[in-house]
Amino acid sequence: MRTMYHPNVNEINLSTVLYALSDQIRLNIIKILSEKGEQSCSSLDISAPKSTLSHHFKVLRESGVIHTRLEGTQRFISIRYDDLNLRFPGLLSAVLQGIEQ
């Protein structure tokens, strides 16, 4: 199986993170993860085709917003809180606060 790309902390780029968070589906994914913690990709209740969700997961992962962990045939995703707060203190909190308003 192919190795998934996760950028190192120092490779996380503000414009890439902002782009990843500029889509409503991706914001919904982040909102669910912030409320429920790590989730399997298949457990997220988002009405979109599987291929579309895979694309959104990839954009979030490659921008450094989420981490994907493989366990057997399942993929579990979680937000990279520590890495994002290290690079851009307060950004994720502000985004999550903005989603709820």
Percent of the chain with pLDDT over 90: 82
Q: How far is C-alpha 27 from the geometric centre of its chain's CA atoms?
A: 9
- Taking the CA of residue 8 as centre, how many other CA atoms within 13 Å lie in the half-sphere pointing to its CB? 2
- Please say whether the beta carbons of 4 and 76 come within 8 A: no
- Tell me the pTM: 0.93
pLDDT at residue 32 tops 80: yes
CATH number at residue 41: 1.10.10.10
Flag whether 3 is in a domain: no
In a domain, 1, yes or no: no
Residue 4 inside a domain? The answer is no
Residues spanned by the domain of 91: 9-100
23 in a structural domain: yes
- 39-40/66-71 β-pairing: unpaired
Residue-wise pLDDT tens digits, 34-74: 999 999 998 998 988 999 999 999 999 999 999 999 999 99
Name the domain count of the chain.
1
